[in-house]
């Protein structure tokens, strides 16, 4: 039947009937056909890379069929759609995810086995799509998975970086950055769409004209035009019905401007402009939560925002012509942080200068189209651009921003008459010797909703970051707690646990994660505990092999695997973890019978290349690791592993094998965290502060199934106000003093005394801005509780099971349903069969 049904609520699609249609014979034939016809090789000659590509091509056939059906349904229904604008999409690998979501994993595995090929091996051939730094980019990837799974009309828009996040090597304990070349041998999942190229103006000047009706008209004469070429990555929903797209823009030189130079014999000059244009999408900025303030970064942001807006408008006009009245009821744009906030003045420019609407009409459309997500309160991450740089690159946009601000200041005047200080505080323009454009303020003023990413974070956004905006527009600021896709972060990455869960409670939990609650009924069941912990053990064995291969270090899977995996940042406090490891080491040296279950501390972290102290911490972890791992005296009770090049595909191997999850940020600093959710879902117990989503995780699992320690947000505030002095802890705690002094010797850096001193200094003279010393004792005490709990194997098994069982809230499907209800007001659109 060819009927299309609209359902009022996001529907949970019934899983996987593809399996019946697609048997392994068909898959096998398709793989062999692609080996022959697309790759020009055969079964005897093909290496793993060729098998991987042929298998991708076979899978892509199914993907593209569903993509066509989805696009047709969306077109025929003329649905309202969400457009997720993000400078980052940290997708990782796509093969396993696509196979699972299409419901053809097992058949493909069997088909390949019959061809003498191992699916797990060939999946290792796929480079990660690392077009993001960390949490913010991975959240975008989880969200587009959920959007497709819930049959919601959605497009992801971003940049097609030629080089994603750098590859990290460790040489003599130090981080070395190497370029990431994820596309050197092509990307079998992406489709180039030259028919949808956009042209984007930059630089130049603005001319003021007087139109026939006496109205002032502005005309921007750009100094450079670049082309945006879209690449589409299909995003397969679970159940394989809806396939949405992630559209990523690549910059190219536009021949338009270069011809004159070229014809005049200036071939090389023309090439220079080409290089400049193509630089825009060359490389992802590797800064996590700091703003570099670089011109190229602003151009990147404008480039992808402008391409995406033009793309949206082209599609809107196809259905609605020049009638703009329905724009904001058909289009909602979610700004993933302020990185795409330039889209706000860009839409205003199009509505004013191109469509020639009056200001109020244009503003009504624009401000009902955008919504903004804030991901961090760290002041160094809040984007500000020098007005002078803005004027050079985007002169017309700066004018529009001034006008937005002028009108906003009139509103402020109404609420706080005569209050100059208030105007200075709220202004989109920061006055001073160098005027700055505050992108956060612009985003709040130009959006109809603003959300934080966990309850406490959203409360702090209201209380500390934007209190006056909350007063002016009650209800505009809201919360949507983050989530993760259980398809990638349990079903695909932990097949053994997934199968056990299927056997116990059935197989619809990937679509309805609250079903995991039923596992709580087996938390005390000795047989289930044994099965659950046996799987954890086997996952640890597999990780031990990986650790050996990557670092040469032997670890015992019977030890506690204690994991801290995330970007390296002082506020995340990897150095608190390290100080505690040194404390354990010291205790073991002082007392060889010191009672502790053997522990392996595992780190994975990249530091921004320009972040000196973060790199020093990586070096310190590696040096301490080398010393401890080679010290016979610790008697196998302590190992430290730094896994190089932490990324999505490595996370998928670490997380199923973790016993303990370190979530130890200074309270008030981690907006949400999402690794905390992934680890708990896979049965790791959290040791963590009352920060970000840890608080909501604790609410779900119960205080008895999590190890909470440290100062609360209010206590940190109070400490800050009374005046925090790290020397109080150094002088009064002998263990802290001994450890910090140890860092200054050459004990961990033979022949190089003082090589780790920067760490000590940041914690003492540097003022210990993240209160590491204040939380040390409480952290150490919490670790003693972890140790005691692990020794009681029955108790630990129960706690681990309850962690998995209680993670239902943290599926990104729930986050997306919250966005739909509170912000987007979207309807699901089923795809015709
Ligand atoms: C938070 N990245 C996590 C996660 O909401 C939270 C900033 C500037 C430039 C480049 N990248 C960034 C972030 O701000 C970021 O990743 N924030 C993170 O967003 C998702 O779970 O707590 O730190």
**Phi and psi of 104, rounded to 5°?**
-125, 25
- Quick one: which H or E segment has residue 531? helix 526-551
CA of 136 to the centre of ligand 1 (A): 4
pLDDT(658) > 50 = yes
Annotated active-site residue 678? The verdict is yes
Greatest CA separation for the chain: 92
pLDDT at res. 16: 47
Dist CA 751 CA 753 (whole Å): 6
Dist CA 260 CA 382 (whole Å): 42
For residues 378-386, give the mean pLDDT: 93
* Sequence-separated (6 or more) residues with CB below 8 Å from residue 803: 680, 681, 683, 684, 685, 686, 701, 705, 706
For residues 56-70, give the mean pLDDT: 97
Q: Give the domains, in start order, of the chain with CATH numbers.
A: 78-93+128-399+435-482+817-829 (3.40.50.2000), 530-806 (3.40.50.2000)
Render pLDDT for 694-713 as a digit per residue (tens, 0 to 9).
Answer: 999 999 999 999 999 999 99
* Per-residue pLDDT band at 291 (split at 50, 70, 90): confident
* Per-residue pLDDT band at 284 (split at 50, 70, 90): very high
Ligand 1 closest atom vs CA 674: 21
Ligand 1, atom 4: nearest CA belongs to which residue?
A: 135
- Quick one: which H or E segment has residue 259? helix 255-263
Q: Which residue has the higher pLDDT, 635 or 271?
A: 635
pLDDT at res. 269: 66
pLDDT at res. 728: 98
Dist CA 704 CA 691 (whole Å): 17
* Per-residue pLDDT band at 263 (split at 50, 70, 90): low
Render pLDDT for 765-777 as a digit per residue (tens, 0 to 9).
Answer: 999 999 999 999 9
Dist CA 253 CA 216 (whole Å): 33
DSSP string, 617-678: HHHHHHHHHHHHHT-GGGTTSEEEEE-SS--HHHHHHHGGG-SEEEE-PPTTT-S--SHHHH
From the list 165, 133, 474, 150, the residue with the least C-alpha distance to 336 is 133
pLDDT at res. 262: 53
Q: Which of 296, 341, 375 gets mutated to test ligand 1 (max ligand atoms within 8 A of its CB)? A: 375
Percent of residues in the chain assigned helix, strand, coil, to nearest 5: 50, 15, 30
For residues 756-782, give the mean pLDDT: 98
What are the tokens at 405? 């601000």
How many alpha carbons lie under 13 Å from residue 481 in its C-beta half-sphere? 18
Place of tokens 């800064």: 287
From the list 595, 669, 680, 674, the residue with the least C-alpha distance to 638 is 595
- Lowest-confidence pick of 20-24, 242-246, 293-297, 400-404: 20-24
The gap from C-alpha 589 to its chain's centroid, in whole angstroms, comes to: 41
pLDDT at res. 165: 98
Catalytic residue among 160, 449, 462, 678: 678
CA of 605 to the centre of ligand 1 (A): 14
Catalytic residue among 626, 674, 689, 749: 674
pLDDT at res. 365: 98
pLDDT at res. 214: 80
Annotated active-site residue 209? The verdict is no
Indicate left, alpha or beta for 129 from its phi (over 0: left) and psi (-120 to 50: alpha): beta
Under DSSP, is residue 682 helix (H, G, I), strand (E, B) or coil?
coil
The gap from C-alpha 571 to its chain's centroid, in whole angstroms, comes to: 17
Helix axes 793-805, 772-791, angle to 10 degrees: 110
Dist CA 552 CA 497 (whole Å): 28
For residues 49-57, give the mean pLDDT: 98
CA of 297 to the centre of ligand 1 (A): 17
Q: What is the DSSP secondary structure assignment for residue 831, as one 8-state letter? A: P
Ligand 1 closest atom vs CA 673: 21
CA of 289 to the centre of ligand 1 (A): 6
Annotated active-site residue 674? The verdict is yes
Q: Which of 166, 288, 675 gets mutated to test ligand 1 (max ligand atoms within 8 A of its CB)? A: 288
- Beta strands, E only, 709-830: 828-829
Catalytic residue among 572, 639, 771, 798: 572
CA of 669 to the centre of ligand 1 (A): 11
Instruction: Give CA separation, 521 vs 515, 595, 765, 796, in Å.
Output: 12, 33, 53, 16
- Beta strands, E only, 237-287: 243-253
CA of 135 to the centre of ligand 1 (A): 5
CB 147, CB 827: distance < 8 Å: no
Pairing of β 174-178 and β 167-171:
antiparallel
pLDDT(374) > 60 = yes
- Quick one: which H or E segment has residue 565? strand 560-565
pLDDT(98) > 80 = yes
* Per-residue pLDDT band at 23 (split at 50, 70, 90): confident
- Quick one: which H or E segment has residue 458? helix 455-460
Query: Percent of the chain having pLDDT more than 90?
Result: 92
pLDDT(18) > 70 = no
Ligand 1, atom 3: nearest CA belongs to which residue?
A: 673
* Sequence-separated (6 or more) residues with CB below 8 Å from residue 809: 481, 483, 513, 514, 696, 700
Ligand 1, atom 21: nearest CA belongs to which residue?
A: 673
Annotated active-site residue 566? The verdict is yes
- Quick one: which H or E segment has residue 236? strand 224-236
Ligand 1 closest atom vs CA 670: 22
Annotated active-site residue 435? The verdict is no
Catalytic residue among 28, 93, 339, 375: 375
pLDDT(255) > 90 = no
Question: Would you give the end-to-end CA distance of the chain in angstroms?
Answer: 8
CA of 165 to the centre of ligand 1 (A): 15
pLDDT(290) > 90 = no
Q: Which residue has the higher pLDDT, 716 or 272?
A: 716
Place of tokens 């191109």: 354
Computed from CA positions of residues 81, 87, 90, 96, in that sequence, does the dihedral angle turn out positive or negative? positive
Instruction: Based on DSSP, count helices (H) and strands (E) in the chain, helices before strands.
Output: 34, 27
Query: Percent of the chain having pLDDT more than 70?
Result: 96
CA of 154 to the centre of ligand 1 (A): 22
pLDDT at res. 816: 98
CA of 444 to the centre of ligand 1 (A): 18
From the list 427, 446, 449, the residue with the least C-alpha distance to 436 is 427
What are the tokens at 289? 């939560």
pLDDT(257) > 70 = no
Render pLDDT for 74-94 as a digit per residue (tens, 0 to 9).
Answer: 999 999 999 999 999 999 999
Annotated active-site residue 567? The verdict is yes
CA of 375 to the centre of ligand 1 (A): 5
Render pLDDT for 181-238 as a digit per residue (tens, 0 to 9).
Answer: 999 999 999 999 999 999 999 999 999 999 777 888 999 999 999 999 999 999 999 9
Catalytic residue among 488, 567, 806, 814: 567
pLDDT at res. 21: 59
Dist CA 692 CA 758 (whole Å): 28
Q: Which of 289, 607, 670 gets mutated to test ligand 1 (max ligand atoms within 8 A of its CB)? A: 289
Instruction: Give CA separation, 123 vs 63, 112, 131, 242, in Å.
Output: 18, 12, 19, 24
Dist CA 665 CA 646 (whole Å): 19
Ligand 1 pocket (Cβ < 6 Å) reads 133-136, 139, 287-289, 375-376, 381, 453, 482, 670-674, 692
Secondary structure of 366-393 as H, E, C letters: HHCCEEEECCCCCHHHCCEEEHHHHHHH
Q: Which residue has the higher pLDDT, 734 or 287?
A: 734
Catalytic residue among 163, 462, 566, 798: 566
pLDDT at res. 275: 85
Dist CA 543 CA 557 (whole Å): 8
For residues 288-310, give the mean pLDDT: 92
ipTM attached to this prediction = 0.98
Average of per-residue pLDDT values in the chain: 95
- Beta strands, E only, 323-362: 331-336
pLDDT at res. 264: 63
Ligand 1, atom 7: nearest CA belongs to which residue?
A: 289
Q: Which of 285, 376, 461, 570 gets mutated to test ligand 1 (max ligand atoms within 8 A of its CB)? A: 376
Dist CA 791 CA 80 (whole Å): 55
pLDDT at res. 261: 53
pLDDT(385) > 70 = yes
Ligand 1, atom 11: nearest CA belongs to which residue?
A: 288
pLDDT(669) > 50 = yes
For residues 366-385, give the mean pLDDT: 96
pLDDT at res. 272: 73
Computed from CA positions of residues 521, 523, 529, 534, in that sequence, does the dihedral angle turn out positive or negative? positive
């Amino acid at each position: 039947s060819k009927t299309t049904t609209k359902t009022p609520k996001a529907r949970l699609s019934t899983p996987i009937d593809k399996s019946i249609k697609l048997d392994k014979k068909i898959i096998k034939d398709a793989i062999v056909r692609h080996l022959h016809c697309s790759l020009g090789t055969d079964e005897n000659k093909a290496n793993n890379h060729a098998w991987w590509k042929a298998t991708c091509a076979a899978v892509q056939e199914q993907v593209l069929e569903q993509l066509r059906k989805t696009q047709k349904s969306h077109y025929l229904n003329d649905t309202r759609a969400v457009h997720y604008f993000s400078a980052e999409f940290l997708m990782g690998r796509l093969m396993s995810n696509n196979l699972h979501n299409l419901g053809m994993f097992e058949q493909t595995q069997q088909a390949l086995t019959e061809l003498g090929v191992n699916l797990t091996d060939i999946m290792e051939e796929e480079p990660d799509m690392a077009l993001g730094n960390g949490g913010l980019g991975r959240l975008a990837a989880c969200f587009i998975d959920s959007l497709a799974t819930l049959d919601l009309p959605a497009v992801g828009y971003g940049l097609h970086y030629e080089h994603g996040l750098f590859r990290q090597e460790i040489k003599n304990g130090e981080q070395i950055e190497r370029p990431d070349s994820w596309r050197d041998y092509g990307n079998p999942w992406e489709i180039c769409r030259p028919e949808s190229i956009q042209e984007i103006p930059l630089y130049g000047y603005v001319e003021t004209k007087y139109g026939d009706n006496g109205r002032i008209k502005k005309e921007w004469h750009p100094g450079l035009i670049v082309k945006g070429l879209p690449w589409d990555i299909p995003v397969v929903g679970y159940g394989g019905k809806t396939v949405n797209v992630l559209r990523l823009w690549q910059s190219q030189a536009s021949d338009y401007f270069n011809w004159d130079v070229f014809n005049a014999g200036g071939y090389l000059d023309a090439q220079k402009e080409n290089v400049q244009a193509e630089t825009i999408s060359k490389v992802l900025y590797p800064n996590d939560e700091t703003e570099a303030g670089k011109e190229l970064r602003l151009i990147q942001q404008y480039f992808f925002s402008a391409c995406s807006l033009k793309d949206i408008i082209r599609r809107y006009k196809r259905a609605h012509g020049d009638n703009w009245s329905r724009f904001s009821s058909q289009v909602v744009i979610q700004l993933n942080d302020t990185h795409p906030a330039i889209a706000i003045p860009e839409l205003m420019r199009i509505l004013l200068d191109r469509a020639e609407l009056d200001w109020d009409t244009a503003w009504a459309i624009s401000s009902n189209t955008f919504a903004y997500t804030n991901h961090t309160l760290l002041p160094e991450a809040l984007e500000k651009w020098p007005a002078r740089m803005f004027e050079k690159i985007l002169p017309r946009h700066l004018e529009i921003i001034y006008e937005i601000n002028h009108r906003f200041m009139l509103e402020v005047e109404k609420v706080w008459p005569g209050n100059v200080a208030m105007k200075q505080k709220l202004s989109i323009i920061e006055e001073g010797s160098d005027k700055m454009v505050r992108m956060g303020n612009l985003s709040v003023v130009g959006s109809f909703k603003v959300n934080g990413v966990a309850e406490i974070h959203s409360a702090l956004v209201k209380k500390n970051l934007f209190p006056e905006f909350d007063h002016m527009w009650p209800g505009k600021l809201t919360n949507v707690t983050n989530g993760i896709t259980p398809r990638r972060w349990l079903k695909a990455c932990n097949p053994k646990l997934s199968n056990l869960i299927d056997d116990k409670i059935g197989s619809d939990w990937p679509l309805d994660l609250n079903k995991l609650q039923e596992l709580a009924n087996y938390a005390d069941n000795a047989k289930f505990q044994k099965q659950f912990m046996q799987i954890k053990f086997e996952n640890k064995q597999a990780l031990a092999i990986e650790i050996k291969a990557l670092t040469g270090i032997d670890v015992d899977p019977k030890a506690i695997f204690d994991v801290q995996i995330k970007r390296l940042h002082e506020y995340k406090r990897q150095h608190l973890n390290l100080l505690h490891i040194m404390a354990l080491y010291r205790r073991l040296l002082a007392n060889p019978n010191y009672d502790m279950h053997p522990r392996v501390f595992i780190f994975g972290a990249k530091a921004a290349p320009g972040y000196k102290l973060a790199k020093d911490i990586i070096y310190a972890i590696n040096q301490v690791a080398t010393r401890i791992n080679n010290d016979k005296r610790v008697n196998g009770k302590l190992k430290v592993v730094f896994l190089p090049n932490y990324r999505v595909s490595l996370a998928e191997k670490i997380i199923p094998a973790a016993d303990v999850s370190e979530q130890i940020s200074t309270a008030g600093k981690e907006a949400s965290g999402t690794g905390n959710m992934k680890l708990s879902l896979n049965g790791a117990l959290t040791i963590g502060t009352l920060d970000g989503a840890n608080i909501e995780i604790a609410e779900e699992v119960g205080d008895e199934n999590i190890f909470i320690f440290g100062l609360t947000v209010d206590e940190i505030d109070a400490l800050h106000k009374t005046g925090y002095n790290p020397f109080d802890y150094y002088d009064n705690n002998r263990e802290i003093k001994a450890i910090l002094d140890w860092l200054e010797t050459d004990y961990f850096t033979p022949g190089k005394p003082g090589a780790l001193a920067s760490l000590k200094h940041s914690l003492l003279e540097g003022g210990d801005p993240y209160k590491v010393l204040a939380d040390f004792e409480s952290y150490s005490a919490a670790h003693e509780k972890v140790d005691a709990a692990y020794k009681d194997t029955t108790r630990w098994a129960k706690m681990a099971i309850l962690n998995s069982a209680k993670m239902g809230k943290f599926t990104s499907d729930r986050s997306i349903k919250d966005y739909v209800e509170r912000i987007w007001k979207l309807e699901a659109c089923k795809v015709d069969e």
